[in-house]
Amino acid sequence: MSTVKVKDVVIGDGIPKVCVPIVAKTKDKIIEETLSLKNINVDMIEWRVDFFEDALDNEKVKAVLKELVPVLNNVPLIFTFRTTKEGGEKAIDTLEYIQLNKAVIDTGLVDIIDIEAFTGDNFVKEVIRYAHAAGVKVIASNHDFEKTPSKEEIISRLKKMQVMGADIPKIAVMPKSKLDVLELLEATVIMSEEYADRPIVTMAMSGLGVVSRLTGEVFGSAITFGTLNKASAPGQIGAEALFDLLQMLHKNIN
């Protein structure tokens, strides 16, 4: 399996990379939250732009990026507008969603964009090609807040993202039982060992699924998400505790 290198971070090698979402509503708070991460072990930062009060104004989004990037201290930045249909904060027209992602790619300020894989195959492929032409990596994502699909369906969705050209396929599911968590973990192992030729990211959400956020090194998930203040998805734990737990597990695994 190949790895994905973004700045100094190699995704898909060793310990899962810790990503912290920034979920503030105003430009000043976004910068303030980012600055507060300077003394925390973080591999990547995700700006969840759907939390931003002016997320539907492309010019204001770009203005935030211009102030945000200089304070990142070379930490890779993921740009994500999570739509309401996949658990995000704001609804957005599909064409506006595509235009926003393209406008952000054009700035040259982001390292990775997250595109929702079921936006429409042609739209997704178009954005992936556009991003790659600009040297930007792509996470194709899918979030199921209702259930945990069968392992066959989870694998099928991840394989589709890979075929469409995403650098990192990602899926998050909602477990209703302990067996659902095992279904997600089994799918992760099978995908990573039998089908994936690039890093994948998987997680079971909610408190029930926390174990899936800790055991990526064993089961095959390359990125895990931890909180600073407010979680961007159910089941996220504090970034500092997450980093320490991953280190402890790594020492015992190896």
pLDDT in tens, 40-53: 899 999 999 999 99
In this predicted structure, the answer to whether residue 246 has a pLDDT above a threshold of 60 is yes
Binding residues: 46-48, 82, 213, 232, 236
In this predicted structure, the answer to whether residue 92 has a pLDDT above a threshold of 90 is yes
In this predicted structure, the answer to whether residue 144 has a pLDDT above a threshold of 80 is yes
Q: Is 143 a catalytic residue?
A: yes
Q: Is 27 a catalytic residue?
A: no
**Strand pairing of 4-6 and 9-11?**
antiparallel
In this predicted structure, the answer to whether residue 94 has a pLDDT above a threshold of 60 is yes
In this predicted structure, the answer to whether residue 190 has a pLDDT above a threshold of 60 is yes
Average pLDDT over residues 224-252: 80
* CA dihedral sign of residues 230, 233, 234, 239: negative
Write down the H helix ranges in 93-148.
94-107, 121-133
Average pLDDT over residues 78-86: 97
In this predicted structure, the answer to whether residue 231 has a pLDDT above a threshold of 60 is no
Q: Which of 17, 137, 143, 151 is catalytic?
A: 143
Q: What pTM was computed for the model?
A: 0.95
- CATH 3.20.20.70, applies to 4-245: yes
Separation between Cα atoms, residue 98 and residue 165, nearest integer Å:
16
**How does the average pLDDT of the chain come out, rounded?**
94
In this predicted structure, the answer to whether residue 34 has a pLDDT above a threshold of 70 is yes
253 pLDDT band, cuts 50/70/90, is: confident
Separation between Cα atoms, residue 223 and residue 236, nearest integer Å:
13
Beta strands in the chain (DSSP E): 4-6, 9-11, 17-22, 44-48, 77-80, 112-116, 137-144, 168-173, 201-204, 223-227, 237-238
Is residue 49 within 8 A of residue 79, CB to CB? The reply is yes
Binding residues for 3-dehydroquinate: 46-48, 82, 213, 232, 236
The pLDDT of residue 237 is 77
